[in-house]
Chain A
Amino acid sequence: MAVHRRGYHQYDGPRTPERWRFWILARYAFRRVFRLRLVAIFYVICFIPALIASSAVYLSHNVDVLASLFQGERFSDAELVPVTAEFFLFLMTFQASLSVFLTALVGPGLVSPDLTNNALPLYFSRPFSRVEYVLGKFSVLFVLLWLVTGAPMLFIYLLKSSLAGWSWFVDNLHLAFAIVLGSAVWVSLLSLVALASSAWLRWRPAAAGMLFALLFFPTGFGQAANEIMRTGWGSLLNAIVVIGTVWNSLFYIDDADGYARAARALNPMGRVADPIPAWTAWLVVGTVCAVSLLMINRKIRAHEVVR
Chain B
Amino acid sequence: MIPAIELDNLSVLFSGRPILKGLSGAFYGRAIGLLGPNGAGKSTLIQTLLGFHPPTRGSARVLGMDVRTQIREIRHAIGYMPENDSFITRMTGIRLVRMMAELSGLPPAEALERAHETLFHLGLGEARYRDVGTYSLGMKQMAKLAVAIVHGPRMLILDEPTNGLDADGRKRMLEIIREIRDSHDTQIILCSHLLRDVEECCDEVVILKEGLLVTHCNLEAERRTNRKFIQVETRGETGVFLTRVEQLGCELAVNGSRRLKMILPETVEVRDLYHVAAETGVQIRRLDYKRDSLQDIFLKAMEGSNGRT
Residue B297 is within 8 A (CB to CB) of chain A in the complex: no
Q: Chain B contacts of A18 at CB under 8 A?
A: 72, 105
Interface check B80, CB cutoff 8 A: yes
Q: A74 on the interface (CB 8 Å rule)?
A: no
Q: Given A4-B125, A8-B149, A24-B103, are A124 and B88 also a contact pair (CB < 8 Å)? A: no
The stretch that binds A, out of B116-124, B198-206, B235-243, B251-259, is B116-124
B82 touches A121 (CB 8 A): yes
Chain A residue at minimal CB-CB distance from B95: A28
- B90 CB–A CB distance under 8 Å: yes
CA distance A123 to B51 in the complex (A): 12
Residue among A25, A122, A125 with max Cβ neighbours from chain B (10 Å): A125
Q: Are A122 and B100 in contact, CB atoms less than 8 angstroms apart?
A: yes
Q: Does A174 count as interface, using CB distance less than 8 angstroms?
A: no
Task: Check A9/B185 contact, CB under 8 A, given A119-B88, A125-B78.
Answer: yes
Q: Are B100 and A126 in contact (CB under 8 A)?
A: yes
8 Å CB contact of B89 from A15, A25, A113 = A113
Which of A7, A118, A305 lies in contact with B82, CB distance below 8 A? A118
8 Å CB contact of B152 from A11, A35, A123: A11
Contact B113 A3 (CB under 8 A): yes
**Residue A307 CB within 8 A of the other chain:** yes
CA distance A124 to B100 in the complex (A): 10
Residues of B within 8 A of A (CB-CB), count: 53
Residue in chain B with minimal CB distance to A301: B52
Q: Given A3-B116, A10-B152, do A128 and B121 touch, yes or no (CB 8 Å)?
A: no
Given contacts A3-B116, A6-B117, A125-B78, whether A32 and B103 have CB atoms under 8 Å apart is no
Query: How distant is A22 from chain B, measured CB to nearest CB, in Å?
Result: 10
Task: Specify the main secondary structure of chain A where it touches its partner.
Answer: loop
Contact status B82-A123, CB under 8 Å: no
Considering only residues 116-139 of chain A, those with a C-beta below 8 Å from chain B are 116-119, 121-129
CA distance A7 to B152 in the complex (A): 11
Task: Knowing A122-B147, A302-B50, A302-B52 are in contact, say whether A16-B102 is a contact too (CB < 8 A).
Answer: yes
Q: A125: which B residues are within 8 A, CB to CB?
A: 50, 75, 78-80, 82
Interface residues of A in 7-53 (CB under 8 A from B): 7-16, 18, 21, 24-25, 28, 32, 35
In the complex, besides A126-B104, A302-B50, 9 extra interface pairs with C-beta distance below 8 angstroms are A3-B117, A6-B117, A10-B186, A14-B110, A122-B86, A124-B52, A125-B78, A126-B75, A305-B15
Which are the 5 A-B pairs with shortest beta-carbon distances? A11-B152, A15-B105, A125-B80, A4-B120, A10-B152
Which A residues form the contact surface with B (CB < 8 A)?
3-16, 18, 21, 24-25, 28, 32, 35, 113-114, 116-119, 121-129, 301-303, 305, 307
Listed A/B pairs (28) with beta-carbon separation below 8 Å = A3-B116, A4-B116, A6-B117, A8-B149, A10-B154, A10-B186, A11-B151, A15-B107, A21-B103, A113-B90, A114-B88, A118-B84, A118-B85, A118-B86, A119-B87, A121-B52, A121-B80, A122-B80, A122-B147, A125-B80, A126-B103, A126-B151, A127-B72, A127-B103, A301-B52, A303-B53, A305-B14, A307-B15
